């Protein structure tokens, strides 16, 4: 065993490793898009509205993405005991901060797109 006090499945001891893990998740195919829809909503928003807002996502994958955002503290999930069910999601303060910190990076990358394109055109192997 690697640790004196063993870790439960998926607990991460080191802050750097945890930060990398969280950012790695966020870098997935859908997380940022979902986060942006939550941000645009400026308040609680239902599951099916998010589903409409994120182009191309399926219900199953959206559920997974939302669970992960909830797990890491970027979104909240509120269930109303109604039939048919109502579940609302909202961005947290932490989620908003994440968006604000990711934004400059994506803006830079978009500004530099021409350079990426040129590099890829040059590249042969």
Residue 48 CB, nearest approach to DNA (Å)? 3
Enter the tokens of residue 46. Answer: 């239902």
47 binds DNA (CB under 7 A): yes
By a kind-dependent CB cut-off of 5 to 8 A, residue 61 interacts, out of its own copies, DNA, none, with DNA
Residue 120 CB, nearest approach to its own copies (Å)? 6
Residue 51 CB, nearest approach to its own copies (Å)? 20
63 binds its own copies (CB under 8 A): no
85 binds its own copies (CB under 8 A): no
98-104: Cβ within 8 A, 24+ apart: 98/26, 98/35, 98/74, 99/32, 99/35, 99/36, 99/39, 102/26, 102/32
112 binds its own copies (CB under 8 A): yes
| Residue from 72, 74, 52 nearest 62 by CA | 52
């Amino acid at each position: 065993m690697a640790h004196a006090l063993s870790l439960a499945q998926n607990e991460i001891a080191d802050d750097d490793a945890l930060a990398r893990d969280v950012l790695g998740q966020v870098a997935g195919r859908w997380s940022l898009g979902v986060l942006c829809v939550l941000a645009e909503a400026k308040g609680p928003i239902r599951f099916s509205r998010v589903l409409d807002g994120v182009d191309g996502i399926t219900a199953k994958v959206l559920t997974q993405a939302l669970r992960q955002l909830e797990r890491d503290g970027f979104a909240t999930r509120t269930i109303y005991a109604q039939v048919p069910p109502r579940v609302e999601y909202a961005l947290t303060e932490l989620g908003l901060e994440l968006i604000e910190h990711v934004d400059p990076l994506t803006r830079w990358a978009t500004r530099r797109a021409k350079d990426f394109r040129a590099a890829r055109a040059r590249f042969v192997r």
